[in-house]
Amino acid sequence: MKQLLSFIRKEFSHMLRDRKTLLILFGLPVIQIMIFGFALTNEVKNSRMVILDQAHDDITAKLIARIDASHYFDLDQSLHSSAEIEPAFQKGKIKMAIVFPASFGTDFQHQHHATMQVIVDASDPNTAQTITSYVSAIVRDFQAEHQLAMGVPYQITPEVRMMYNPQLRGAPNFVPGVMALVLMIISVTMTAISIVREKETGTMEVLLVSPFTPAFVIVSKCIPYLVLSLLNITSILLLSVFVLDLPIVGSIWLLYGESMLFIFTCLTLGIFISVRTESQQAAMLISMMGMLLPTMILSGFMFPIENMPLPLQYISNIIPAKWYYIIVKSVMIKGLGFESIWKETLVLVAITLFFFGLSLKFFKIRLS
């Protein structure tokens, strides 16, 4: 029994001295609970919306105040004309727009029936259905209160229009996400083991004595995986168009150009991992676990980013897949041009140059 206790104490002492083990034992459960229990939820909150009030009466003012008071919506601004609605959707500023016609208040008070137009960005069908149901519930409560107070049946009919995805199909949402996920995993993982493999096979010495510059070596490592990733993009797009019946609304050349930029971003990230790790197993683990989960969780592909706490929203800005996901949806689903995605493109360029510079720096250190 004493021997058993001594071995137990010995194991406890080893465990308590190992900070990595303690971090896994106590830190990982806390992080998982915070992410999966608090940050990731199917409830949609703080959805940005705009309202075009053409009636300007007490009824619409009360209903707008009721909608604005809900934590489900974040009322950005009030529009002055219907021509402002579509540009707001195209820029990705809003998820919903509500239009009250000029006769709304008169129809509601005298005819006891009024209509309102609800326009929703349905490129994410789950979010679109959820926020539409929220608005419908608020409207039902509003008309029920008037009916109870006045003793007369009132009815407000929301006329819903789903933009970009009228059938509420899932493909317009998951195809851009799958493109980002596949490119991130393949490009990062394959390049992450490229330089490490040279070290383990003993061919790194050949690179060390070669007359080639580090930039030349890095680019030569990236080109084969660039071609492979472009083939993957082509296969995904062909399946989307001919199997899933999801047309490419925007420019195919712009989509390919942005995809090449994102591939370069992933390749430079993989090279950076490769020059900073000592084994293929470590590089594979970092590239798979370090890229897969952030891409799935923080890119907006599976969970709306606006639902997350502010720290996670800030962290999502450094995830390249988030910006590529926005670009693909804008070009492929909404048919927008470069003038609408130049900011996202600039972010990807900055991330690419950042990791390329770091890779060159640490590769030169390794050569020296």
Q: Can you give the pLDDT at residue 39?
A: 56
pLDDT score for 18: 65
Confidence at residue 5, expressed as pLDDT on a 0 to 100 scale: 75
pTM of the predicted model over 0.75: yes
Q: Please, which residues bridge with residue 78 across strands?
A: 51
264 and 183 Cβ atoms separated by less than 8 Å: no
The CA-atom distances, in angstroms, between 67 and each of 50, 84, 137, 254 are 11, 20, 10, 39
pLDDT at 22 (0 to 100) = 64
Report the length, in residues, of the chain.
Answer: 368
Element (H, E) at 69: helix 58-69
Position 208 scores a pLDDT of 59
CA 6 – CA 12 distance, rounded (Å): 10
Alpha-carbon gap, residue 13 to 232, rounded angstroms? 50
Q: What is the pLDDT along the chain (368 residues), one digit of tens a residue?
A: 666 677 677 766 766 666 666 666 666 676 666 666 655 566 677 788 888 888 888 888 888 888 888 888 888 766 778 888 888 888 777 889 999 998 888 888 888 888 999 999 988 888 888 899 999 999 888 888 877 777 677 888 889 999 888 888 878 888 888 888 888 888 888 887 777 776 667 666 566 566 667 677 777 777 888 888 888 889 988 988 888 888 888 899 999 999 999 999 988 888 888 878 777 777 777 777 777 777 777 888 777 787 777 787 888 888 899 999 999 999 998 888 898 899 999 999 999 999 888 887 876 555 44
Tell me how far the alpha carbon of residue 150 is from its chain's centroid.
Answer: 47
pLDDT, residue 224, reads 84
DSSP label at 179? H
Give the dihedral of Cα atoms 204, 206, 211, 215; nearest 10 deg: -20
**Domains of the chain from N-terminus onward:** 47-163 (3.40.1710.10), 171-367 (no CATH)
Four-CA torsion 184, 190, 196, 198, nearest 10 degrees: -150
346/25 Cα distance (integer angstroms): 40
Amino acid at 325: Y
pLDDT at 206: 63
For the CA atoms of the chain, what is the radius of gyration? 27
* Closest to 305 in 3D by CA, of 294, 316, 292: 316
Could you give phi then psi for residue 12, rounded to 5 degrees? -60, -40
Half-sphere exposure of 223 (CA within 13 A, CB side): 6
